[in-house]
Amino acid sequence: MAAKTETPRQRLFREVAERGDISISALAYALGVKPPSLVKNLRPLVKKGLLVFGQGRTRVGVNPGLGYVIGIDLGSSHLHFALADFQGEILQDAVVKIRPEDGPRELIAQIKQGARNLADKAGHGRLQAVGIGVPSAVDREQGIVAWANNLPGWKDIRLGRELGKEFRVPVFMENDANMAALGEHWRGVAQGVDSFVFIALGTGIGSGVFVDGKLYRGRSGWAGEVFRMNIEWQRWQEDFGDSGHLESCVSGMAIAAEGRKLLSTPEQGEPSGLAQERDAYFVFRSFHQGSLEARRVLEKTFTLLGVGIANVVAVLDPELIVLGGGIAKGAPEFMLVTVEKVVHTLQREIAPPIKLSALEDKAQTYGAINSALSVAREAIARRL
């Protein structure tokens, strides 16, 4: 069956919605039409309340009252919710700790409740879409979390369907590192960069890969899952279990495990849950207090991270490497110096710039917002 032809009105709405507030002259140039003709075609969309004129009718943008979207970052220790308008500006957000060991049912209920709490605070307008990043490869068409190795019991979970039934809006679900790459390309240091790799450093490790201006997902959606990378070939026959190979050496839980062997345990005593046990905060705190043991832990971790990144560079030859996530905030300067030294040594001829995320630990959330806006625009345009 042939694809339905896009109408001029649909195209016009999409262009304005994607570009944000834009001058009439710039929009007319982009579309190859004359400004008077463009204004005439814009009027029905303004009358419908979808678009609004600004600055003496010389500019046009999406009506701020059209509605809002919710972006969600599902991590292995927390949930980050953000309520955003149709310009992608965050109006309210909230961070909630989770107990991953409680299983999918409890966590899905927590996701629904957190999103509902924000939706109830939105005021005017209506919820148009939800975007969520999850620590797993996903089947986006079916809304299935394939296997979140750091969330016990999360295998073939139909999270997208659950959220769609709850909120009755389009739901966009994507791997969290891919979401972070989308966010960084939209609002971060990778704006305008066609080929780059975002390395997500949190409880685990993953990456989002952009090739020729588009997110690259691979044959089965597992592209960028660097936690599976083996950087110690002598151990190729070992079963690393759910933590993967690189992740067992380079991740928040790896830093925490190594730190517990060499340092005093955190002041709060024994861990009260899986998320607490994986928390590497005490290692970074000791590092900043001058602990040589903590420095050795982090130097080894960041050196192995550099080796992993050098291997990625050898395969993809990207324009840029971006480091983000909670672990990247712990000792950013030390991490950057160590990783750059290793990558430039191993890939001297093709080593790309390596930068810290401009969005820090909100890159996934911005990616979720951007994705939600994309499916919301599509749903509205289809109704025109």
- Per-residue pLDDT of 104-124, as tens digits, reads 999 999 999 999 999 888 776
Query: C-alpha angle with apex 286: 285 to 290, nearest 5 degrees?
Result: 120
For residue 34, how many C-alpha atoms fall within 13 Å in the half-sphere facing its CB?
A: 2
Tokens of 77: 């220790």
Look up residue 312 and give its amino acid: V
Residue 220, SS3 per DSSP: coil
Closest by CA position to 248, among listed 222, 267, 226, 263: 226
pLDDT at 231 > cutoff 50: yes
pLDDT at 312 > cutoff 50: yes
Please write the tens of the pLDDT for every residue from 217-229.
998 888 998 988 9
Could you give the angle at which helices 363-382 and 8-19 cross, rounded to 10 degrees? 160
Q: How many residues does the chain have?
A: 384
pTM, whole model, 2 decimals?
0.90
Q: What is the pLDDT of residue 2?
A: 41
Q: What is the pLDDT of residue 44?
A: 94
**How far apart, in whole angstroms, are the C-alpha atoms of residue 376 and residue 381?**
9
Banded pLDDT at 55 (limits 50, 70, 90) = confident
Q: What is the pLDDT of residue 3?
A: 46
Q: What is the pLDDT of residue 365?
A: 96
Banded pLDDT at 160 (limits 50, 70, 90) = very high
- DSSP structure string for 137-150: -EETTTTEEEE-TT
Domains of the chain in start order, with CATH, are 8-62 (1.10.10.10), 67-181+363-382 (3.30.420.40), 191-357 (3.30.420.40)
**How far apart, in whole angstroms, are the C-alpha atoms of residue 41 and residue 55?**
18
Q: What is the pLDDT of residue 333?
A: 97
Rounded alpha-carbon distances, angstroms, from residue 1 to 4, 5, 141: 9, 12, 19
**How far apart, in whole angstroms, are the C-alpha atoms of residue 57 and residue 25?**
11
